[in-house]
Structure 1
Amino acid sequence: MGKDSRTILGLLAGTAIGTVIGILFAPDKGTVTRKKIADEAQNLKDSVSDNIEHTGENISNAVKQKRASLEEELEHLMSNTSYKAEDVITSLEKKLADLKAKNKKYQK
């Protein structure tokens, strides 16, 4: 859990606890107090749900960005590998040609 998520969770918990304590010490009737507690619980639930949805979207976006970055890096690596392989093949072909030339001299 990231620092921002913990901060948001702490703020939500503090708000919920403060609201419940404030409502419990208020001089209202029991039915009114229970209604306020239920309303605050619903608000807290909605807030947590929104935060979870927002966090899920952030994670999804981060994964998409990392995937695109990884695909780009892989393409770059494959391109570099292809060029290096071509260089190795060219070098080996030159050495093979040199060896064939030397072998012709010895065959005479």
Structure 2
Amino acid sequence: MRLVRNLQRKRKLEQQKKLAKGVAIGTLVGSVLGSAAGILLAPDSGKNTRKKIQDGAVDLKHNVEKNVEGAKSNLENTLKNRKEGIREVVGKIRSLRKTACEDAAACADTIEEEIAIESEEKSE
């Protein structure tokens, strides 16, 4: 049951990431095309138009760099969180294994004691 919920959460997260990526790309493409159309269709001299295009390209470069840095940061945070989660799970598994081994050892001791008592009772 838990595994199914985890798989469903994973699929939902992947779909959300896919949607976010599509929205980001659409926004970027739309802004570039809108800026280019506005610059090229505005009545202005060639020199001013070229300057506007150059400024737009510089702004686009800065926006792309900012988005790449944001994506890197998000990826690093996601990996860090997953790494911590894995560490927690491994710690829990080790704890359970240790508890199980201790329980098994205690059971073995109890069984040995019961066998010894039964042996003594039979010998009397």
Do Structure 1 and Structure 2 share a fold, with TM-score over 0.5? yes
| Separation in structure 1 between the aligned mates of residue 104 and residue 36 of structure 2, nearest angstrom | 73
Higher relative contact order (CA 8 A, sep 6+): 1
Q: Secondary structure at the match of 2:47?
A: helix
Residue-by-residue CA offset, 1:46-100 (whole Å, 9 max, x unaligned) = 1111011011101111111111121122112211110111111111222233445
Which residue is equivalent to 1:88?
A: 104
Identity fraction in percent: 28
Which residue is equivalent to 1:37?
A: 53
Q: Runs of 5+ in structure 2 lacking a partner?
A: 1-16
* 2:101 is the alignment partner of 1:72: no
1:6-17 aligned at under 5 Å gives the runs: 6-17=22-33
Larger Rg: 1
Q: Runs of 5+ in structure 1 lacking a partner?
A: none
> Normalised by the size of structure 1, how large is the TM-score?
0.83
- Report the number of matched residues: 108
Q: Secondary structure at the match of 1:2?
A: helix
Please tell me the residue identity of whatever aligns with 1:61.
N
The Cα of 1:4 is off from its aligned counterpart by 1.7
Which residue is equivalent to 2:44?
A: 28
